[in-house]
Structure 1
Amino acid sequence: MKEFGQPPFPDERKISLKAKVKFYFLKFLRLTDRPVVKVYRGFGNDEHLKVYGHVFRRSALPRRKYRDIDFVNLLAVIRLFLVRPYAKALVRVRYGEQVMEVLADNDGCFQVELPLASSLSPGWHRVLVQLISQTLTPEAVLAEGEGHVLIPHPTRYMCISDIDDTFLVSHSATITKRLLVLLTENAHSRMPFDGVVAHYKMLAEADNGLHVSNPFFYVSSSEWNLYDYILEFSQKNGLPDGVYRLSKLKRLSQVLKTGKGKHHTKFDRIVQIIDTYPTRQFILLGDDSQEDPIIYESIVRQYSQQIRCVYIRQIHIEHKVRTQSLMAQIEEQGVASCYFVHSADARKHSIAIGLVGR
């Protein structure tokens, strides 16, 4: 593919009609068929860094404009599901002198736990990930990407939050409403729940005494296809900066199942975070539209000494009785809980239990 402004096909006679159609189709949807390494925000402690991402043969270019036009928004989302993973690719992860190689899985996903020779200062640390050719000699780097890994400041609390219908209005309980919002809105036109950003900022400052934010981890059943979409929404609306752990990549044929990841994997991702920081206390935030109350009650049973409070937003009235029962079980484990409709009530609860100041 030539650079912008240059003829796409130097010798038109050698290019098939199929190749031309593909070229202009990709160009129209702002897709690239060049190898791409996508590195997500990772996290670590004094012993290791957790680095993860995807490698693609075809992927979407970053969105440059946010026009609130249904058709434009539809195409912008659809192209996120037209990705083509680079299966079983050889990936090299580098931080300073620390290097590790791993094969991506069939979805092009790689996850590396990179050991550290010495502890790092708190903050974000840059990592480099390279896609290495397994056929060319000498060795060739086909693509590379940069990412950042968080070493949290030694604050008392960490926050783990769901995304859809916890802070982002998504209508997850009704697939038609969820798809309508996802496909016709964009990261700039969609809205958070009233008051949720103020509550999250309050929790970010809760009892740290260090003039730094308590770290946030956003763990969701939404798929990795929507990573940039969710990140853009979070930044635009001023949510606390954080690490994102999403669900398995989906293809276009699976769009109707968007947001329907396996919930046991969400449990596993939360456990991985808690196990990485065994001396910290956690604040869990979710909603009752799917399985958050069940997952969080299970987390509390396993880690009651590390869970400070559980917040569940009431979205689905049909789940109210079940959720109330689960919240009672959480309280029986000695963990504070709040089942709320409005974020203002959650903020009042945080103040009432001494989690934050007035």
Structure 2
Amino acid sequence: MTSENPPRRRLRPRAALAGRRAGGDEHRAVSSDLPSARPHWAARIEDVKNRLIASGLRAVGWDVRLQPYTGYGTPSRVRVLAKALYAPPRTPADHHDQPVHDMRTMAVRGFRSFASQCAPRERVRIDVGERSFTVRADRAGIIDAMLDVELTPGRHEAVLSTHAGNAITTDVLVFDPAQRLGLVSDIDDTVVITWLPRPLLAFWNAFVLQQSSRKVVPGMPALYQEIARARPGIPFLYLSTGAWNVYPVLRRFLFKNGYPDGPMLLTDWGPTNTGFFRSGMQHKLRSLDLLRTTFPELRWLLVGDDGQHDPEIYGGFSREHPEAVEAVAIRQLSNAEQVLSHGARHAEADERAAGRTAVEGAGIPWMEAPDGHGLLREMRERRVLP
């Protein structure tokens, strides 16, 4: 199924940006990637590699282009997300920002999503509402800035640029303060079948599989559409340990299969300031905690699966912050999916039982089913949905 109205293609205000530079206040915003006192040696090697490649690309005429990600926030504070990447000479400003409804670009091998070169520490100007900010990308080229603004609830546009003539726009969703319920959904094996995280299969799905070959989890689009109808204006956010490199593919997948529009909270693969790889669990826990503090008035419906630690993550969050959780819904993986995910069935059962105990011990409804149809029945029986 597809959404009735595709998101409109955003205008690229190149000339208009120059006029806006004359007005507005200048502010500083700090990236979310704060360096440690002694970065991990793998991170230092990657930094050297990025500097050498960047120098070579600039020498042959390549320039930085920005890839925008949907942001979100409150009327007084928003989170703007994007990534700075290099692009060949004479490419347009929106080179890394193709329209979501253009499905032809999805028919590529996954490795191409990881072949781009980031532009670390790039200086970026952000214009949102009547205010202007200057931020810097982190060591992986990610722009992740929390900005103080004055906006009304609804969809807004922020203008991001590295210099005059190189501007793109990105959507920022400002949630209504009157809303009392939000939904956070895992992606892998919750809305899309990926058969992760076993290493060989993860490699196959991320780097080899045709991007358009990904399969939808049965009944999940219908479930989310029913939630959106029952709770008008409910914010949807998609939280995953997947890399920002696959953002365009995932966004098109969600659009193509009729999932409600909403920001995605992904992460960066590769060395960090503290180790070889980022912790997926820590990424999810930090994201949930940021949502809790940003939207203290919201209670969250947490949706995930029992294949990638979601029961443990949601259980711990519910135990620590029961006031922030409305209910937990877990999609049960099949026996084959569990074996491929964990290598054994009992590991999943123990983790799910511990998560359920923590959630129900906090007085929060716990629901589980093998697909979206079953979860919808569970939500109605538990009166989470009318």
One fold, TM greater than 0.5?
yes
Residue 44 of structure 1, CA deviation = 1.0
- Go from structure 1 to structure 2 and tell me whether the alpha carbon gap of 1:156 and 1:180 turns closer, same or farther (over 3 Å shift): same
Q: What residue number does 2:174 align with?
A: 151
Q: Which residue does the alignment assign to 1:204?
A: 228
Superposition map of 1:82-161 within 5 A: 82-116=115-149, 118=150, 120-132=151-163, 141=164, 143-153=166-176, 154-161=178-185
The residue that corresponds to 2:267 in the other structure is: 247
Q: Which amino acid aligns with 1:55?
A: A
Mapping of residues 1-358 of structure 1, within 5 Å: 33-58=62-87, 62=98, 66=104, 73-74=108-109, 77-116=110-149, 118=150, 120-132=151-163, 141=164, 143-153=166-176, 154-206=178-230, 208=231, 212-249=232-269, 262-315=280-333, 316=338, 317-318=345-346, 319-357=348-386
With the length of structure 1 as denominator, give the TM-score of the two structures: 0.77
Seen in structure 2, the aligned counterparts of structure 1 residues 300 and 46 have a Cα distance that, compared at 3 Å, is same
Deviations, residues 106-126 of structure 1 (Å, cap 9, x unaligned): 11112222212x3x3321100
Pairwise CA distance, 1:176: 2.2
User: Contact 1:107–1:249 at 8 Å: present in 2 too?
Assistant: no
Aligned length: 303
Q: 2:105 & 2:130 partners in 1: Cα distance?
A: 44
Shift of 1:83: 1.5
CA distance in 2, matches of 1:161, 1:300: 15
Show structure 1 runs of 4+ deviating over 4 A. Answer: 59-65
Q: SS of the residue aligned with 1:242?
A: coil
Query: Once the 2 structures are TM-superposed, how far is the Cα of residue 305 of structure 1 from its aligned partner?
Result: 1.2
Bigger radius of gyration, 1 or 2? 1
Unaligned runs of 5+ in 2: 1-56, 89-94, 339-344
Counterpart CA distance in 1 for 2:183 and 2:103 is: 32
Q: CA deviation at 1:303?
A: 1.6
**340-349 or 274-283: which moved more?**
340-349
Please tell me whether the aligned partners of residues 64 and 84 of structure 2 are also in contact (alpha carbons under 8 angstroms).
Answer: yes
Deviations 1:176-221 (A, max 9, x none): 2333334444443321111111111122233x3xxx3311000100
Structure having greater relative contact order (Cα 8 Å, sep ≥ 6): 2
Counterpart residue type for residue 352 of structure 2: T
After superposition, the Cα gap between the structure-2 partners of 1:227 and 1:67, relative to the gap in structure 1 and judged at 3 Å, is closer
- Paired with 1:157 and 1:354, the residues of 2 have a C-alpha distance of 14
Gap runs ≥5 in structure 1: 1-25, 27-31, 133-140, 252-256
Shift of 1:67: 8.7
Amino acid in structure 1 at the alignment position of 2:84: V
Match of 1:18 in 2: none
